[in-house]
C-alpha cells in the first residue's frame, strides 16, 4: 500500500491525526524518531496504519502529498528540512483537523498565562448555555480525536505556541 500522508510523531496528536486522515480517505504513514509507546502502537496496528520508530527511513516519501508535524518536533529537525526541500506542505494536527470543522466551531485560546483556566471557563459557560462544547488541544484529547468522535458544536482549544506552528 502506498501512503500519501506522512505523520511525524506518534504521540496523541500524531496518532489521532493519522486516524482522522485514514477516516477521511488518506493513506497515512506514521514516523517517529523515538520509541512509540505500546498503547499507541496498538492503536495504529488495530487501524492498520503503517508506522516506523527509532528513525525516519520514510519508505513512502516519494508518494507523500502532505506532512502533518507533531508540535514537539522542531522545524530544525533533519526530517522536517528534508520534507521542506521536497516542497511538501507541512501542517499541524490542529490545521489538518480544522479542515473538517467550520470556523464557527472553533475557539482557540493561546498566550503566556491563563490558557487552561480560560479554556475551561469558556467550555463550562458554553455547556451551561446548552452548547455541545468540548475542551481540547493542550487539555483533554487532541482536536483530531474530538473531530473523529463528533458530536461537538464547538471545539474550545487551548493551544501552545508550538501548536500554532504550521497553522495557516
CATH number of the structural domain 5-93:
3.40.50.720
Q: Residues in the chain, how many? A: 168
Domain ranges of the chain: 5-93, 97-164
**Helix axes of 12-23 and 38-46: crossing angle, nearest 10 degrees:** 0
pLDDT of residue 57: 94
Q: How far apart are the two ends of the chain, measured CA to CA in Å?
A: 30
Q: To which residue does cell 508506522 refer? A: 51
C-alpha cell at 71: 508540535
Low-confidence ranges of the chain (pLDDT < 70): 1
pLDDT of residue 2: 84
**Cα angle: 154, vertex 156, 159; to 5 degrees:** 145
CA nearest to 159, candidates 100, 95, 103, 99:
95
**Cα angle: 11, vertex 13, 16; to 5 degrees:** 100
168 HSE (CA, 13 A, CB side):
6
pLDDT of residue 151: 83
pLDDT of residue 1: 65
Contacts of residue 146, Cβ cutoff 8 Å, sequence gap at least 6: 97, 134, 136, 140, 152, 155
Amino acid at each position: 500500500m502506498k501512503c500519501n500522508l506522512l505523520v511525524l510523531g506518534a504521540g496523541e496528536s500524531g496518532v489521532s491525526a493519522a486516524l482522522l486522515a485514514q477516516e477521511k480517505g488518506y493513506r497515512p504513514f506514521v514516523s517517529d524518531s523515538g520509541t512509540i509507546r505500546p498503547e499507541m502502537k496498538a492503536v495504529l496496528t488495530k487501524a492498520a496504519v503503517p508506522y516506523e520508530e527509532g528513525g525516519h527511513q520514510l519508505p513512502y516519501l516519494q508518494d507523500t502529498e502532505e506532512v502533518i508535524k507533531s508540535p514537539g518536533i522542531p522545524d530544525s529537525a533533519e526530517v522536517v528540512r528534508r520534507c521542506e526541500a521536497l516542497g511538501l506542505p507541512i501542517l499541524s494536527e490542529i490545521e489538518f483537523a480544522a479542515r473538517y470543522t467550520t470556523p464557527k466551531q472553533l475557539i482557540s485560546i493561546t498566550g503566556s498565562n491563563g490558557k487552561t483556566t480560560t479554556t475551561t471557563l469558556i467550555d463550562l459557560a458554553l455547556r451551561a448555555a446548552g452548547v455541545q462544547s468540548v475542551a481540547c488541544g493542550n487539555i483533554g484529547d487532541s482536536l483530531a480525536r474530538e473531530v473523529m468522535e463528533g458530536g461537538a458544536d464547538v471545539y474550545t482549544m487551548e493551544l501552545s505556541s508550538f501548536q500554532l506552528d504550521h497553522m495557516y
